[in-house]
Amino acid sequence: MSNILTIAMPKGRIFEEAVGLLRKAGYRLPPEFDDSRKLIIEVAEEGLRFILAKPMDVATYVEHGVADVGIAGKDVLLEEERDVYELLDLKISYCYLAVAGLPDTNMNDVAPRVATKYPNVAEAYFREQGEQVEIIKLNGSIELAPLIGLSDRIVDIVSTGRTLKENGLVEYERMVDVTSRLIVNPVSYRIKDTRIDELVTRLHEVVS
């Protein structure tokens, strides 16, 4: 059994913050780490291997055990419902999920349509509100949907609210707060317990 810990990191927005946090926790990561285009980066001195995945896929790699731990947004965990341990709130990449749409509009009575990157979250949310909606799955630029009449509402991540504003949309409901979480594969959690406990302790100390 290798003692190398494989960490799935989300590419893009969260990546830099996550790397910053690991450095703050005392992990010596090489400087070229930040602008490498490699998908797998070994840091032999620390016994770590990083894989760089799409944020939405991080939990998948961890659930299947090809990565021991991962850093994933709560939005991803809610949407994907993967069988992984959610051990620590890293309190980075703060944002929230919200329902938005064009101002002063109502949802269509017969077939309210909601466009989103998070079909499971959106459906569960509206069901809890006692509303049956039709979900249209999109992969990005969700704000476009109400503007050109694809949907009445969108469910999307909001961090500053600027994108909504610039596109003339307003927030109707704030659904749930989102931060990045440290997630762990259930087998790794038991087999590599010492290393993972150490990672959790070190990160816990530097999480504000």
Partner 1 sequence: MSRLFMFEKPLGMRDTLPELYEKKLRVRSVMAETMKLWGYQFIETPTLEYYETVGAASAIVDQQLFKLLDKEGHTLVLRPDMTAPIARVAASKLLDEDLPVRLAYSANVFRAQQREGGRPAEFEQIGIECLNEDTVSCDGEVIALLISSLKKAGLRQFQVSIGHVGFAQELFMQILGTNGRATALRKFLYEKNYVGYREHVNSLQLSSIDKQRLLMLLQLRGGEEVIGNALDLIENGKGKQALLELRELWDVIKDYGVEEQVKFDFSIVSHMSYYSGVLFEAYAGNVGFPIGNGGRYSLIEKFGKKATATGFAVRLDMLLEALGELDVKNSTHCIFFSQERRKEAFQLAKEMHRQGKSALLQDITGVKNLDAFTKKFAGTTYLIGGHTDE
| Residue ranges in contact with partner 1 by CB under 8 A | 1-2, 63-66, 83-89, 181, 185-188, 190-193
Other C-beta atoms lying within 10 Å of the C-beta of residue 81:
13
Q: For residues 83 and 186, is the Cβ–Cβ distance under 8 A?
A: yes
- Ramachandran assignment for 87, one of left (phi > 0), alpha (psi -120 to 50 degrees), beta (any other): alpha
Q: Which is nearer to partner 1, 169 or 183 (CB)?
A: 183
CB of 74 to partner 1, least distance (A): 8
The identity of residue 117, as a single letter, is K
| Smallest separation (angstroms) from partner 1 to the CB of 47 | 15
Residue among 65 and 112 whose Cβ is closer to partner 1: 65
Report H helices in 48-207.
58-63, 74-80, 119-128, 144-147, 162-166, 186-191, 193-206
Nearer to partner 1, 99 or 196 (CB): 196
| Closest distance of CB 64 from partner 1, Å | 5
Measure the CA–CA gap between 39 and 52, rounded to whole angstroms.
Answer: 5
The least distance separating partner 1 from the CB of residue 66, rounded to whole angstroms, comes to 7
